[in-house]
A and B are shown apart, each in its own frame.
Chain A
Amino acid sequence: MNINSDNIEALIVDYFDGTLNEQQSRELDRAIALNPKFRQLFNEYQSALDCTVGEGLPVAIDPEFAEELKQTSDFNEIDTPYFDRLAVLVSECIATQAEQEEYNQMILQDDSKLRSAVLYSYCKIKPNKDLQCPYKNNLKRSQIRPLRYAFAAAAAVLAFLLIFRVVYFSECSIDLARLSGTISVNFAGRNVQVVDNYVFENVENSTPKQMTYANLPYAVHSQSDAVRLHDPEPQSTISPTLQHDDSLIADLCIASVSESKISYPEDILQPITIDWKSIEELDNNGLAISIDFIGEQGIADFKEDKARIHRRINERRSPKICVSYDEDGKKDGVSLLIGNRELKVWSR
């Protein structure tokens, strides 16, 4: 056993408690004999024990405390004058009929007991009902809704807005501000904005900014609408004239876009004079020039069944542009795919 200054005190206590075994006691004796510091500690502890054990014990505990330790089960067992006991029983309203009568007799016979009885009757504390807890409303709790409800609510609102937007603004999805690919072309001194980047893919030298109105028939748009005209000088009037390319059957139709529908004029082949004032009247929805490569047959079909065009628009089947290249890697042709139909829109 290793005895050092850290454990010597504990060992001394155990020694006097008699909890050390024989070997430990012997080792402790040896350590005390060898180490004067340990011996001093041992002697101090021994002398302290001598003071407290035996005659050093407290003579008696506080009588009142001793009284408290007694386990009484009834007032009658409390060691106190009988009258006081009765008085408390009466004031506590737990006296029996006999006790009550005896109490009454006692106070009638003795004035001093009567005085005591009066005092006892006033010994009850009355609550001060004017005294109210301040700020007690702060102690109340409100229902804490889990965060997932907030997320669910936000998701529901978001879903509602999305659906609402799809239902009510699906036809107004042409939002120039939204379309980063919008290309501005200069046309007769006026700005023409064309929606969709690939619209001019089929045009040779098709740097969009160099486009002229004459190229417009070559411009292909997706069914999500094509060209928006924005006139910086809305008071003026412009009469666009269509130019037909021999190799391409293309036509220009004018579609006015409103919030709920897209309508087309009856005769899509007629060049239409655009009245810029009327464009202004169309407000934000503007006037969309929709150029649709539908071919001769397509035109005939369209005349027969305009609903098909509408359906196609609604289905948003965007035409695809296919560019072909020659062996030198130069562009030699552009085709337009609409559905399963391929239209050669340009070739070298």
Chain B
Amino acid sequence: MNITEYNNCVDKYSDFVYRYLLKSVRNSQAAQDIVQDSFEKLWIAHKNLDAAKAKSYLFSCAHNAMVDYVRQDHRTSDLEQSVNIPQNAFNQYTDVQDILQQALQTMKPEQRSVILLRDLQGYQYQEIAEVTGLSLAQVKVYIFRGRVFLKQYLEKTGIRSHSDLEELV
């Protein structure tokens, strides 16, 4: 990968990486720092890296740094904590996406990562496995559990029917 391709990567992927990190760590400054670190690692490796692999490499770096950050910062929340959601809490939100964002924060980091990579970046399962270092089977399990968790979270906020959703949507 040459310098032009590297700069193209910055243009194409920096926003994606930033969004992914911001949703994962919920801290703009930390997300920026990790973006910076990830691109720094990409730059260090750019001479030996194929441009086609740059995105995967970049997200791998970002993911690993994010996991380290989350571990260090103890920002993981237990699933049980999210259970204590008041009934009809959905009235506090203006958008389903807001509820889902809240739900993401209560997810396990691995689940959150695979869901974000799947939904935000549209990665295939195999790509997610490469980025996160998980096995393909683990990725599928996390995707599945993540979806079920999000659905349960929506239920817990009091959304029971289509009309409830329509109120928000």
Contact = CB atoms under 8 A, between A and B. Distances in A.
Interface of A: 67-68, 70-75, 78, 80, 84-85, 87-88, 91-92, 115-116, 118-120, 122-128, 131-137, 139-143
B70 interface: no
Contact of B159 (A87, A92, A119, A137): A119
B135 interface: yes
A72 B141 contact: yes
B15 A131 contact: yes
B65 interface: no
B77 interface: no
Given A68-B141, A120-B151, A141-B3, A136 B119 contact: no
Nearest to A142: B3
A73 B15 contact: no
A125 B160 CA distance: 19
Interface in B1-17: 3, 6-7, 10-11, 14-17
Given A115-B161, A125-B97, A133-B35, A84 B148 contact: yes
B17 A133 contact: yes
A137 B97 CA distance: 29
B29 to A, nearest CB: 10
Nearest to B96: A122
B160 to A, nearest CB: 6
Given A88-B147, A91-B147, A125-B97, A136 B14 contact: yes
B14 A139 contact: yes
A106 to B, nearest CB: 15
Contact of B138 (A68, A80, A88): A68
A140 B18 contact: no
Contact of A125 (B16, B18, B116, B165): B116
Interface of B is mostly: helix
Interface residues of B, number: 47
B7 to A, nearest CB: 5
Given A92-B143, A116-B151, A71 B137 contact: yes
B140 interface: yes
Contacts of A116: 151
Contact of B144 (A70, A78, A126, A139): A78
A149 to B, nearest CB: 15
A143 B3 contact: yes
B155 A132 contact: no
B136 interface: yes
B32 interface: yes
Given A88-B147, A125-B23, A136-B18, 8 more contacts: A73-B137, A78-B141, A80-B144, A120-B151, A123-B100, A127-B19, A131-B22, A136-B14
Interface of B: 3, 6-7, 10-11, 14-19, 22-23, 32, 35-36, 39, 43, 96-97, 100-101, 104, 115-116, 118-120, 135-138, 140-141, 143-144, 147-148, 150-151, 154-155, 159-162, 165
Given A72-B137, A118-B165, A119-B159, A125 B14 contact: no
Contacts of A91: 147
Nearest to A114: B162
A130 to B, nearest CB: 10
27 contacts: A70-B141, A71-B137, A88-B147, A92-B143, A92-B147, A116-B151, A118-B165, A119-B154, A120-B147, A122-B96, A125-B101, A127-B16, A127-B119, A128-B19, A132-B15, A133-B32, A133-B35, A136-B14, A136-B18, A139-B14, A139-B35, A139-B39, A140-B6, A141-B3, A141-B6, A142-B3, A143-B3
Contacts of A68: 138, 141
Contact of A80 (B6, B16, B17, B148): B148
Contacts of B15: 131-133, 136
Contacts of B135: 71
A132 B13 CA distance: 10
A141 B116 contact: no
Nearest to A73: B137
B32 A134 contact: yes
Given A68-B141, A131-B18, A122 B154 contact: yes
Contacts of B141: 67-68, 70, 72, 78
Contacts of B23: 125
